[in-house]
């Protein structure tokens, strides 16, 4: 993905992002500079400390220097003095290799960025000037057409007036002919100006600005790479003097992140249509007239008619946030709807699991009344069912909105590519599938399946044994037994205090967690007896 194709309408976003990148580079340089000052001050204080505690007399004149205790203390002081020298070396390396070099590189990046944005603003200004000239020629054409029509009506009225002199009639006809000629010239000028503007606009959107944005992307990626190298120099400076553990620096791919955050999904503007104001003037319009519909009616647009939003000249109005995110650009709307759908699906699965856990606990209470009253769980089960129904409706609603948003994105992409000579980039990710929908349907079927009569007569933990008949799964974490537990019931497992166990299944709300022992064997133990850590 590249900025010129995906972020063609995000001039201000790219301007802010590139400025932020340079500000981050400058902040890092300032941080390293202050770090060197701290290192130098630290080394100075260490040397003063060593000087304060070093013996004042030479070793040959000091009888205490013969004792091993005194010699060891002097060696410690010498090591601290050497450590101070190491800190001074670190400060010097950081000052030369990071501060000076990155400061110079930052100045070069600022000049390059300034040049690219000046070029972009010049291109914008040229297109805006062309649009103003087009509007002026259109208004002149409209005005001349009205004047020609008015002059023709005046000549026709004088020609029918018996009191008008022949000279007045001839003068009026000459004036009408002159006005008609001026209107025809204005029409030709408007048509030529329209062709010129459409050609300049296509060059602006599909060639000129994409090239500038691609240059800015290349510049920003080079800056990010150089900044990453600067981060590495901070560790290398330490590695040269003392052994430390250096963390590996991952490559920075902010260019793609910027696209995902700000890609609008809008299609580029099309050509401006020709608006013909000469139709009322012509008595016998020809089929080749520009902008004349086939039914002979003029297609006039008054000054109050709405126009299509034309970036970068359109002003941004305040938007009202809607539930379906229709106030956002198509691509951003699709992403937000996808996020909402995933969140609702997770909440739905959580409610389904909670209901299953409550049903399991209710069965235990019914078989062993001394553990609790089954009727006390009815309100929680009813609330869970209500939440499930509500979440299912929300999932369906967001799925419908998401499908509509995806079709809009694909439609805009097709319209843009049909006018764009450059080949399209491959998609960044596969289209969202309907796994969440199918999962919710499967969960619905499984959760609404009535319990069999056989399960009413089974032991308390028979449902635990059914889980072990499945294929073994990998642990999702590990846990430590806080207390000793004797697994005497069917489906449970014993554990000793302090024993390390593998976590196979989390607590689903019934107070039991499924674990596996190192020497083999799986079963359920009380969740309150464990200290759990997920992978």
Determine the pLDDT at residue 472: 53
Grade residue 270 by pLDDT with cuts at 50, 70 and 90. confident
Using CB atoms within 10 Å of the CB of residue 57, give its burial: 0 to 12 exposed, 13 to 18 middle, 19+ buried: exposed
pLDDT at 392: 92
pLDDT exceeds 90 at position 292: no
CA 313 to chain centre: 25
Distance CA 138, CA 135 (A): 5
C-alpha–C-alpha distance, residues 371 and 486, integer Å = 18
Residues 159-168 have pLDDT tens digits of 888 887 888 8
For residues 226 and 466, the model is more confident at: 226
Specify the pLDDT at position 427: 36
Of 23-37, 234-248, 268-282, the range with the highest mean pLDDT is 23-37
Q: What pLDDT, on the 0 to 100 scale, is given for residue 43?
A: 92
Alpha carbon 454 to its chain centroid, in Å, reads: 53
Mean pLDDT throughout 423-434? 38
The residue-averaged pLDDT of 317-335 equals 78
Per-residue pLDDT at 102: 93
Q: H helices within 161-208, ranges in order?
A: 166-203
Residue 405 pLDDT class (50, 70, 90 cuts) = confident
Give the Cα separation of 421 and 314 in Å (integer): 26
- Residue 425 — very low, low, confident or very high, per pLDDT cuts 50/70/90? very low
pLDDT in tens, 506-524: 888 778 889 999 888 888 8
Residue 341 DSSP code: H
Least trusted range by pLDDT, from 58-72, 190-204, 233-247, 320-334: 233-247
Tell me the C-alpha distance between 249 and 505, whole Å: 35
Q: Looking at residue 134, what is its pLDDT?
A: 94
CB 264 within 8 A of CB 329: yes
Which helix (H) or strand (E) is 446 found in, with range?
Answer: helix 435-447
Q: List CB contacts of 92: < 8 A, sequence separation 6 or more.
A: 36
Would you say residue 231 has pLDDT above 70? yes
* Cα end-to-end span (Å), the chain: 33
φ, ψ (nearest 5 deg) of residue 326: -70, -10
Mean pLDDT of all residues belonging to the chain: 78
DSSP tag of 280: T
Of the chain, the percentage scoring pLDDT greater than 90 comes to 36
Contact 109, 219 (CB under 8 A): yes
Residue 314 confidence (pLDDT)? 47
Comparing 91 with 467, which gets the higher pLDDT?
91
For residue 53, what are its two tokens? Answer: 């505690």
For the cut 90, the answer to whether the pLDDT of residue 111 exceeds it is yes
Segment 260-272 shows an average pLDDT of 75
């Amino acid at each position: 993905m590249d900025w010129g194709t995906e972020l063609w309408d995000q001039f201000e976003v790219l301007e802010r992002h590139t400025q932020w990148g340079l500000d981050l580079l400058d902040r890092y340089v300032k941080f390293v500079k202050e770090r060197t000052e701290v290192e130098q001050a630290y080394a100075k204080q260490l040397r003063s400390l060593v000087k304060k505690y070093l013996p004042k007399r030479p070793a040959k004149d000091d009888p205490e220097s013969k004792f091993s205790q005194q010699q060891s203390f002097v060696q410690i002081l010498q090591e601290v003095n050497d450590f101070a020298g190491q800190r001074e070396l670190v400060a010097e390396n950081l000052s030369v290799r990071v501060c000076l070099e990155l400061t110079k590189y930052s100045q070069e990046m600022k000049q390059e960025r300034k040049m690219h944005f000046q070029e972009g603003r010049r291109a914008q200004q040229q297109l805006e000037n062309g649009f103003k000239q087009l509007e002026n020629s259109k208004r002149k054409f409209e005005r001349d057409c009205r004047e020609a029509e008015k002059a023709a009506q005046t000549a026709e009225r004088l020609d029918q007036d018996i009191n008008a002199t022949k000279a007045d009639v001839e003068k009026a006809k000459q004036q009408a002919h002159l006005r008609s000629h001026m209107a025809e010239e204005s029409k030709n000028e408007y048509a030529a100006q329209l062709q010129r503007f459409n050609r300049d606009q296509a060059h602006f959107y599909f060639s000129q600005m994409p090239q500038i944005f691609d240059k800015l992307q290349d510049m920003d990626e080079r800056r990010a790479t150089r900044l990453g190298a600067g981060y590495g120099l901070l560790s290398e400076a330490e590695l040269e003097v003392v052994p430390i553990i250096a963390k590996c620096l991952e490559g920075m791919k902010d260019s793609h992140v910027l696209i995902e955050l700000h890609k609008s999904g809008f299609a580029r503007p099309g050509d401006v249509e020709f608006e013909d104001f000469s139709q009322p003037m012509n008595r016998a319009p020809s089929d080749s007239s520009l902008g004349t519909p086939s039914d002979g009616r003029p297609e006039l647009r008054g000054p109050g008619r709405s126009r299509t939003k034309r970036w970068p000249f359109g002003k941004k109005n305040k938007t009202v946030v809607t539930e379906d995110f229709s106030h956002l650009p198509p691509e951003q709307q699709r992403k937000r709807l996808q996020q909402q759908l995933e969140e609702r699906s997770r909440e739905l699965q959580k409610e389904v699991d909670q209901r299953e856990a409550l049903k399991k606990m209710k069965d235990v209470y019914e078989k062993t009344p001394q553990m609790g009253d089954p009727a006390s769980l009815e309100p929680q089960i009813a609330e869970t069912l209500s939440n499930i129904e509500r979440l299912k409706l929300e999932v369906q609603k967001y799925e419908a909105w998401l499908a509509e948003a995806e079709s809009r994105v694909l439609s805009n992409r097709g319209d843009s590519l049909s006018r764009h000579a450059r080949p399209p980039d491959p998609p960044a990710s596969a289209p969202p599938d309907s796994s969440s929908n199918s999962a919710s349907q499967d969960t619905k079927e499984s959760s609404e399946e009535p319990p069999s009569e056989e399960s009413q007569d089974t032991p308390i933990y028979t449902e635990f044994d059914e889980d072990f008949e499945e294929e073994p799964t990998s642990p999702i974490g590990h846990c430590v037994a806080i207390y000793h537990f004797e697994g005497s019931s069917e489906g449970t497992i014993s554990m000793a205090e302090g024993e390390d166990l593998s976590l196979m299944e989390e607590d689903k709300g019934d107070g039991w967690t499924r674990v596996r022992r190192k020497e083999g064997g799986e079963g359920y133990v009380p969740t309150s007896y464990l200290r759990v850590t997920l992978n």
